[in-house]
Structure 1
Amino acid sequence: MTINIGITFFWGKSYNNIWSNGAGQNMYFLKQCLEQIEGVNQVYFVYWRNDKSEISDNLKLDLMNIDIYDSDEVIDKTDVLIEGTLTLEPQIEAEYRKRGAKIVSYRMGNDFVWDMEKMVHNLPGVRAFNGTKYDAVWMIPQVMTTNRCYLEIMTKAPVYEVPHLWDPVFLDDMAKTVKEPFEFGYKRGQIESNGARVSVMEPNISISKNCMLPILIGEEAYRHHPDLVKHIYLCNTYDKKDDDAIFNYIGYTSAVKAGVMSVETRHITPLFLAEYTDILLSFQWELPLNYMYYEALYGNYPLVHNSPMLKAHRVGFYYDYFDAYDGERQLINAIKTYDADFDTHVERNKQLIDYMSPFNKRNVREHQILLEQLGVNL
């Protein structure tokens, strides 16, 4: 017996490019992984109340060989419906359930933290619960600590950890199609004698991922080793540069006063790495895995990070959570030692990328187990 799986998929003004966010990419990789399971016949994207003709070519459906259907077209043949980037509505869930489909919510965001922020500041856009019923919630590892209870109690469905998946297919495609010169990848010895170009690319939309601690790390590094720090780029900060929290913060740093630290607009990570970056300096709070990290490591860029999950894979240069002094030590360590240990870093990076692959047999098997737990016959 074989089964068909639908994954809900959203597109629109807020999501019209595969580089707009990681959640959309995650759905592509989920499809790839599920297709490797014996007994899975077809995996496709599902939508409703949208215009298929308005899907942008920048979403790369053709590259991934993805079929996308209006819900009514596949409602009678779908055995498992996974809530992906398009939020399920109770009436849609009920119609699939009438036909015997199992319903899964796939959670990628740090919803509980973001909803707390919105509650405290009275902001719109809370990921409200709408009454949709699920047979299971599949949750990526980096949000289990903060979100498991939130989702399990509110949905009354069991939460299971699902492997985080990534593949360089979109990055490799960009390398082939981008018009301007695109030399992605760290070249051994590329850090110049007058110091390293350090980039910070956190989105700055939440306490979960922002530039506040990297500013401290960069400032401390520049104060004590001005000869080793050529420039520090703070991406995604230009629109915040006049806010008191940033203006009165970086304005007092030696690096800004010397013109070494600058605010920048938003950039697509691989393009900015290729043109402006020797080292990626990152910060996260309870979001220890991120596609930005994988992109940097795939290009063998030195990554200075505070992710325990990446530390477990022995990649990059780990500093202890909020310890900016340790972060400074690791940044300087990366500048001084990376080229000498380059081959070791390359091998460890490759092992991590293989571990995250949708085609990794471990990942395929874990998804098969998750399907079997739903009670579907494979």
Structure 2
Amino acid sequence: MRIGISVITHANQNIWENGMSQNIIFLVQSLKAIPFVKAVDLINVGGQPGMAEQIDLSLFDLHLMSEQEATDAFDVIIELAGALSPHWLALQRARGKKVVFYCVGQPYVGLAEYNVFEKPTSFPPVDRSDEVWVLPKDKGYIPMLRTMYRCPVHVTPYLWDPLFVSRRKQEIAEHGFYFGWRDNLQDGVKTPLNVAIFEPNISVVKTSSIPMLACDEAYRAEPQSIGMMHVLNTLHMKDHLTMLYLANSLNLVKDHKACFYGRHDIAGFMAQHANAVVSHQWCNDQNYLYLDALYGDYPLIHNSPWLKEFGAGYYYPDFNAAEAGRLLIHAWQHHEENLGSQRQASQALFKATSPLTEANIAAHAQLLTNLCADRPELLRN
């Protein structure tokens, strides 16, 4: 079996701008470990001859080709990052190839928000694929997706590996910066936490509103617990009245202990400015941000039921900003003594998401076996 995965390339691309490029590499690693998979390569639907500079394709034995070059190259085509031509996909399916739509974004938001907020988008033909694969975080949307795309929908493993964040950690270390938690006890006194909020603020599923309230709740209760609140990915809405009203209502802003930024990668920013992360999601509880923060042993205050199952980070339910603030104070006081149990929980999480863990390889093998049940010749080792 030969598998092609779609990728989108553009100028000044960076793997830290979203998780798709990393997701592709992790998927490649898992698929290549399946005995009956002969080759995995990439189909370029963008305008550049290469991917982000952080990805050396030769290290993964990957080739990047155009749709035209890929016409005879694959038995299974996975549309993941960037939409393939509907006419090209129709041709491939007519020739007996299998097409999978690998849905990484929150599917309901992608369907609804673009209409409500008049965002530019495209809507390719709904009948272009043989199957849809969704991440566990989106399994609740399977009935909707099955109805919309008129084909079987299956859950695929959520994959992550410290490959990229560990490389970034090494890069910044060469410039004298350290990515990772350091004890905040100095001369017997707990030093304040400098909190970073990394929510992208481009959809209601991941915004900085609740984390900002949580930080201010902690600051009002224990002013010495917070040294600075850093809110990233906010420059595009810094002049919006709602954002201004919310920000100006916070004691942290009134006391000049809040900064607002554009986009930064987590390792570079944490190493220079922060030592704790507060996060919030709405029906989107799997996120590379969490795993990167936990890899750095930082206190992560979150509302992800998925992380809660592993005991990783400090969990608050739903939109409970007050509880998040209480947990932030708890982390300020006790994270160093909790470090052993937090590391143990994180390691269990990392093992569960590893592309090369036996369970994830087997799950992908089963998905491909079901997909190609009518093509048994593709399933031979």
Give 1:253 shift.
1.4
Letter in 2 for 1:64: F
The corresponding residue for 2:346 is 349
Deviations, residues 309-366 of structure 1 (Å, cap 9, x unaligned): 1101110000011111111111111111111121111111111111101001100000
Letter in 2 for 1:173: R
Give 1:245 shift.
0.8
* Corresponding pairs, count: 372
Matched, 1:66 2:62: yes
Q: Would the aligned equivalents of 1:90 and 1:131 in 2 still touch at CA under 8 Å?
A: no
SS in 2 for 1:129: coil
Alignment of 1:268-283 (within 5 A): 268-283=265-280
Alignment of 1:40-119 (within 5 A): 40-48=37-45, 50-52=47-49, 55-119=51-115
The corresponding residue for 2:318 is 321
The corresponding residue for 1:216 is 213
SS in 1 for 2:272: helix
Matched, 1:227 2:224: yes
* Alpha-carbon distance in structure 2 between the residues aligned to 1:190 and 1:35: 46
Q: 1:242 to 1:190 in 2, by over 3 A?
A: farther
Q: Would the aligned equivalents of 2:9 and 2:45 in 1 still touch at CA under 8 Å?
A: no
Q: Would the aligned equivalents of 1:88 and 1:132 in 2 still touch at CA under 8 Å?
A: no
Give 1:176 shift.
3.2
User: TM-score normalised to the size of structure 2?
Assistant: 0.92
The corresponding residue for 1:156 is 150
The corresponding residue for 2:170 is 176
The corresponding residue for 1:130 is 125
Across the aligned residues of Structure 1 and Structure 2, the Cα RMSD in angstroms comes to 1.9
Deviations, residues 232-284 of structure 1 (Å, cap 9, x unaligned): 11111133222101111111211110112221221111111222221110000
Give 1:76 shift.
2.1
Give 1:95 shift.
2.0
Q: 1:115 to 1:181 in 2, by over 3 A?
A: farther
Letter in 2 for 1:359: L
SS in 2 for 1:5: strand
Deviations, residues 43-90 of structure 1 (Å, cap 9, x unaligned): 0001257452x6553444344332112233332241111001021222
The corresponding residue for 2:262 is 265
* Alpha-carbon distance in structure 1 between the residues aligned to 2:280 and 2:360: 27
Q: Would the aligned equivalents of 1:188 and 1:342 in 2 still touch at CA under 8 Å?
A: no
Give 1:119 shift.
1.2
What stretches of structure 1 of length at least 5 have no aligned partner? none
User: TM-score normalised to the size of structure 1?
Assistant: 0.93
Q: Would the aligned equivalents of 1:6 and 1:82 in 2 still touch at CA under 8 Å?
A: yes
* Alpha-carbon distance in structure 1 between the residues aligned to 2:3 and 2:138: 24
Letter in 2 for 1:181: G
Q: Would the aligned equivalents of 2:2 and 2:74 in 1 still touch at CA under 8 Å?
A: yes
Comparing 343-352 with 175-184, which one deviates more in the overlay? 175-184
Comparing 29-38 with 62-71, which one deviates more in the overlay? 62-71
The corresponding residue for 1:363 is 360
Give 1:211 shift.
0.6
The corresponding residue for 2:7 is 9
* Alpha-carbon distance in structure 2 between the residues aligned to 1:142 and 1:82: 19
**Match 2:136 to one of 137, 141, 144:** 141
The corresponding residue for 1:330 is 327
Q: Would the aligned equivalents of 1:138 and 1:159 in 2 still touch at CA under 8 Å?
A: yes
Q: Would the aligned equivalents of 1:89 and 1:132 in 2 still touch at CA under 8 Å?
A: no
Query: Percent identity between the aligned chains?
Result: 31
Matched, 1:202 2:202: no
What stretches of structure 2 of length at least 5 have no aligned partner? none
SS in 2 for 1:128: coil
Q: 1:258 to 1:140 in 2, by over 3 A?
A: same
* Alpha-carbon distance in structure 2 between the residues aligned to 1:48 and 1:320: 40
Give 1:190 shift.
6.2
**Match 1:253 to one of 250, 257, 260:** 250
Give 1:20 shift.
1.8
Q: Would the aligned equivalents of 2:135 and 2:156 in 1 still touch at CA under 8 Å?
A: yes
Give 1:98 shift.
3.0
* Alpha-carbon distance in structure 1 between the residues aligned to 2:90 and 2:98: 11
